[in-house]
Amino acid sequence: MFNYSDPSGSDHLSRFRAISEWRGLVEAEYRSAAKQPDSAFTWIDAILDVDTADRAEATIPWKAFPIRVGGTATQIDADRNLQEEYVEWSVFRTPGGNIDRISFTTEFREYFGVLAGVSPTGIKTAVESMNQGATPTNSELYGRSNLAGTTVRQREILFLNHLRNNPWNNGQKGILALTTPVNSIPALFGLAAFCGIERTGLPASEVCANVGGACVPGRQSDPQICTACQQQVRASRSFSLVDPIGIFIQRLEGNWTIDGTQIDINDQSALDPRWVVSRNGRRGTLLVSGAGELELDGDPITSGSQVADKLFVAATVAIADDANLPEWARKGKETLQRPDARIG
């Protein structure tokens, strides 16, 4: 199995002995996508076996604000089901009702499910690392206090089934992971695999609506990813999602000021940054109630949706000419047996 890495950039999976389970989950997704007949999606290790000069990466960006669902800013902020662009957020307020901070996440629930299944201590450590002073309990994380006698799989299921009621994820105390069904690892891999099948007679931009539901045309993310994948297969190239897998926060746009003075909101080296990106780019927190009034395009910050409309996230694919891949990894050769991938 390939040495798939921890997407959070932390040592939590390895320290709490969950890395093997994570790699098994990710391996299954790569296998399913790479075995899709006639798809240009292939294994990441096959791409990495190509000479460096003969492979490339492409970043696919999109805006975090969900344009398909409708609803007011207040409604979208309150309902994570409406936050469907592989980005979800929670707004946290001061006791007086003013916005204190807005936290965005692109982390997949499957990641935390693996960690919670293998190690209750590990998932608590992850929560504590994202929430200063946090003391999460089994009841909060799993929906029950007594985990004695439970298996790894049972704990994973308990955690995932309770995720919407978990106060460290549902906005009561914090936010951890994506919960909307379409914001999942299988959805991302399925989108890439089906959009990697050449659809002759259609412009690349129209393929999204013609892949049997794997791509949702009204979203911001799906059409961008689908078009990019379709363009690769039409150029006789194969592609794969890079390791570590996932969606990363790219940038905030707009004119940001503090007490009328313009700032570079994306400058992570600032003395007191108001926009803090962490966990390997998978998490972003806007500190609204810091020193001085923070404004966006001349307006005070009144909702998470307002910020999401300026937030760009992205996925990255690795690309190589199909002819440069080993035969077992080429488009149309999906029935060939894949050799054991190297680890390292």
Q: For 147-174, b where at least 16 C-beta lie within 10 A, e where not — what string?
A: eeebeeeebbbbbbebbeebebbbbebb
Q: Is the peptide bond before 37 cis (omega within 30 degrees of 0)?
A: no
Token digits for 45? 């290790």
Interatomic CA distance for residues 39 and 22, integer angstroms:
25
User: How would residue 271 be classed by pLDDT, with cut points 50, 70 and 90?
Assistant: confident
Sequence-ordered alpha helix ranges (H) in 50-178? 73-78, 109-118, 120-130, 138-142, 152-161
Interatomic CA distance for residues 206 and 344, integer angstroms:
39
User: How would residue 342 be classed by pLDDT, with cut points 50, 70 and 90?
Assistant: low
Interatomic CA distance for residues 103 and 71, integer angstroms:
20
pLDDT digits (tens, 9 = 90+) for 141-185: 999 999 999 999 999 999 999 999 999 999 999 999 999 999 999
Interatomic CA distance for residues 87 and 177, integer angstroms:
9
Q: For 214-229, b where at least 16 C-beta lie within 10 A, e where not — what string?
A: bbbeebbbbbbbbbbb
Please choose, from the candidates 162, 85, 73, 159, the residue with its C-alpha nearest in 3D space to the C-alpha of residue 119.
159
Q: Which of the two residues, 270 and 123, has the higher pLDDT score?
A: 123
Interatomic CA distance for residues 204 and 191, integer angstroms:
14
At residue 75, the pLDDT reads 97
Amino acid at 107: E
At residue 166, the pLDDT reads 98
At residue 344, the pLDDT reads 45
pLDDT at 102 over 90: yes
Q: Are 317 and 242 spatial neighbours (Cβ–Cβ below 8 Å)?
A: yes
At residue 28, the pLDDT reads 97
Pairing relation of β-strands 311-321 and 248-252? antiparallel
Residue 1, number of CB atoms within 10 A of its CB:
14
Radius of gyration of the chain (CA): 21
Interatomic CA distance for residues 3 and 23, integer angstroms:
7
Q: Are 186 and 26 spatial neighbours (Cβ–Cβ below 8 Å)?
A: no
Interatomic CA distance for residues 104 and 88, integer angstroms:
6
The residue with tokens 């690795």 is 318
pLDDT digits (tens, 9 = 90+) for 7-43: 999 999 999 999 999 999 999 999 999 999 999 999 9
Provide the whole-model pTM.
0.96
User: How would residue 339 be classed by pLDDT, with cut points 50, 70 and 90?
Assistant: confident
Interatomic CA distance for residues 13 and 21, integer angstroms:
9
Partners of 295 in the β-ladder: 257, 300
Token digits for 43? 């294994």
pLDDT digits (tens, 9 = 90+) for 186-234: 999 999 999 999 999 999 999 999 999 999 999 999 999 999 999 999 9
At residue 235, the pLDDT reads 97
Rounded to an integer, the average pLDDT of 236-255 is 98
Q: Are 197 and 234 spatial neighbours (Cβ–Cβ below 8 Å)?
A: no
Interatomic CA distance for residues 196 and 235, integer angstroms:
11
Q: Are 313 and 106 spatial neighbours (Cβ–Cβ below 8 Å)?
A: yes
The residue with tokens 């379709």 is 230
Rounded to an integer, the average pLDDT of 31-56 is 97
At residue 73, the pLDDT reads 96
Rounded to an integer, the average pLDDT of 108-118 is 98
pLDDT digits (tens, 9 = 90+) for 124-139: 999 999 999 999 999 9
